[in-house]
Amino acid sequence: MPADIGSVQLVGAGPGAADLLTVRALRAIESAEALLYDALVCREVLDLAPERCLRIQTGKRAGKASMKQQVINRLMLRLARRGMRVVRLKGGDPSVFGRVGEEKAFLSAHGVPVEIVPGITAASAAAAQFGFPLTHRGEARRLLLSTARLAAGAVLEEGWAAAADPQTTLALYMGRDQVAEVAGQLIAHGRSPATPALAVEKAGCRDARSTASTLGGLAAAVRAAGPTGPVVVIIGEVVAQADIASAHASPLERAQA
């Protein structure tokens, strides 16, 4: 390995707000010499990087043009070989549908030191913001994080039995356009149409929007809301505890208002 080779940190930027970054993530961003960031990373987080830091937007938004994964891999490698401290900044947690395994394997195979820095994932952010638990004694004994889409855009064909268990809280990522089919599959596999459901757009951000419904009415409710940003859908009995009205300010902020 060359003595002057740099390093890459695969960092979770959390759901959006800068104060939801981990301390380790903050330190990584503040010391970055090159910052490769996804489209979901907000401006207030990017502004934490040094002024002279090289910033490269890598895209990765569903349905829109974005930098190919192979290009991102080669770019990180090239920058690291220049001796730079590279931060690959991903929305949420990099290990949750963030291709962190592919990127780490590629860089490690080329002798680049890699560190993974976790972040708050959208499901956790949504639950905290809207005041409900993801697991709860007597209602939800497991949490299932899933994406609705396969590589070709089709909806998943397996795993519905576990998702349909009434004791499972299902957090569905990247499923905004597949809500109707997902709901239909869950109901067909035995999940009650009356199961509480919540679609959260831009979870964790101050401008987050929520759409509360039931599993049976979820598709129509999401269609009527017309979200354009990233959406996480949470389905399960725990959603009935959501405090929709007070989601945009913490109890301390409301008490001080």
Q: Is 67 an annotated catalytic residue?
A: no
Task: Judge whether residue 157 has pLDDT over 80.
Answer: no
Cβ(13)–Cβ(25) under 8 Å?
Answer: yes
Cβ(191)–Cβ(203) under 8 Å?
Answer: no
Could you please state the CATH topology (level 3) that the domain comprising 7-117 is classified under: Cobalt-precorrin-4 Transmethylase; domain 1 (3.40.1010)
CB crowding 182-214: b at 16 or more within 10 Å, else e: bbebbeeeebeeebbbbbbbbbbbeebbbbbbb
**Rounded mean pLDDT, 182-197:** 95
Instruction: Report the pLDDT value the prediction gives residue 205, as an integer from 0 to 100.
Output: 87
Catalytic residue among 47, 174, 202, 207: 174
Can you give the residue ranges of every domain in the chain? 7-117, 122-246
Instruction: Report the pLDDT value the prediction gives residue 178, as an integer from 0 to 100.
Output: 87
E strands present in 128-225: 142-147, 168-173, 196-201, 209-214
Catalytic residue among 19, 60, 64, 76: 60
pLDDT grade for 151, boundaries at 50, 70 and 90 = very low
**Rounded mean pLDDT, 205-224:** 94
CB atoms inside a 10 Å sphere around CB 144:
17
Query: What confidence tens digit (pLDDT) does each residue in 57-84 have?
Result: 997 555 556 789 999 999 999 999 999 9
Taking alpha carbons only, the member of 124, 107, 117, 116 closest to residue 6 is 107
Between 3.90.550.10, 3.30.365.10, 3.30.950.10, 3.10.129.10, what CATH number should domain 122-246 receive?
3.30.950.10
Task: Judge whether residue 20 has pLDDT over 80.
Answer: yes
Instruction: Report the pLDDT value the prediction gives residue 252, as an integer from 0 to 100.
Output: 41
Q: Is 165 an annotated catalytic residue?
A: no
Ramachandran area for residue 205 (φ above 0: left; ψ -120 to 50: alpha; else beta): beta
CB atoms inside a 10 Å sphere around CB 17:
18
The share of the chain scoring above pLDDT 90, in percent, equals 74
Q: Is 38 an annotated catalytic residue?
A: yes
Instruction: Report the pLDDT value the prediction gives residue 245, as an integer from 0 to 100.
Output: 65
Q: What is the pTM of this model?
A: 0.86
Catalytic residue among 38, 93, 104, 165: 38
d(CA 254, CA 244): 14
Reported as type and span, the H/E element at residue 77 is helix 69-81
Query: How far does Cα 113 stand from its chain's mean position?
Result: 25
Instruction: Report the pLDDT value the prediction gives residue 152, as an integer from 0 to 100.
Output: 45
